[in-house]
Amino acid sequence: MTLDLTKCSIGIEFGSTRIKAVLIDEKHLPIAQGSHDWENRLVDGIWTYTLDDIRQGLQHCYAELTADVQKQFGQKLTTVGSLGISAMMHGYLAFDSADNLLLPFRTWRNTITRSASEKLTEAFQFNIPERWSISHLYQCMLSHEEHLPKLAFFTTLSGYIHYLLTGRKVLGVGDAAGMFPIDSTVKDFDAGMIAKFNAVAKAEGYDIDVKKLMPQVLCAGDEAGTLTAEGAKFLDPTGTLQPGVPLCPPEGDAGTGMVATNSVAVRTGNVSAGTSIFAMIVLEQALKKLHRELDMVTTPDGLPVAMVHANNCTSDLNAWVGLFAEFAEKIGAKISTNDLFSVLYNNALTGDNDCGGLMSYGYYSGEFITGLEEGRPLFMRQPDAHFTLANFMRSHLYSALGALKIGMDILINEEKVGLDKLLGHGGLFKTKGVGQKIMADAMNAPVSVMETAGEGGAWGIALLAAYEVFKEPGETLPQYLNNKVFKDSKGSTIAPNADDAAGFNRFMAGYKAGLSAEKAAAADFK
Residue 65 lies in a domain: no
Higher-pLDDT residue of 287 and 168 is 168
Q: Domain range holding 371? A: 315-400+499-524
- Neighbour count for residue 414 (Cβ, 10 Å): 13
Residues 224, 247: contact at Cβ < 8 Å? yes
Buried-exposed string 333-364: b where 16+ CB fall within 10 A, e elsewhere: eeeeeeebbbbbbebbbebbbbbbbbbbbbbb
In a domain, 337, yes or no: yes
Beta carbons of 352 and 391 less than 8 angstroms apart: yes
Residue type, 66: T
Q: For the chain, what percent of residues have pLDDT higher than 70?
A: 99
Instruction: Tell me if 480 is assigned to some domain.
Output: no
Contact between residue 11 and residue 21 where contact means Cβ atoms under 8 Å apart: yes
Q: Are 9 and 458 in contact (CB under 8 A)?
A: no
Q: What are the pLDDT digits (tens) for 68-93?
A: 999 999 999 999 999 999 999 999 99
Question: If you average pLDDT over residues 182-209, what whole number do you get?
Answer: 96
DSSP labels, 125-191: TS---TTSHHHHHHHHHHTT-TTGGG--EEE-HHHHHHHHHHS--EEEHHHHTTTS-EETTTTEE-H
Residue 186 predicted with pLDDT over 80: yes
Is 323 a member of any domain? yes
| Domain assignment of residue 50, yes or no | no
Residue 409 CA to chain centroid, in angstroms? Answer: 21
Q: Write the DSSP string, 308-376.
A: EEES-SSHHHHHHHHHHHHHHHHTT----HHHHHHHHHHHHTTS-TTGGGEEEE--SS-BGGGTBSS--
pTM of the full predicted structure?
Answer: 0.81
Q: Report the pLDDT value the prediction gives residue 453, as an integer from 0 to 100.
A: 55
Is residue 320 included in any domain, yes or no? yes
Total domain count, the chain: 1
346 in a structural domain = yes
* Residue 15 near residue 85 (C-beta atoms within 8 A): no
User: Using one digit for the tens of pLDDT, what is the confidence trace for 480-493?
Assistant: 999 999 988 888 99
Q: Is residue 170 part of a domain?
A: no
Q: Per-residue pLDDT tens for 461-483? A: 999 999 999 999 999 999 999 99
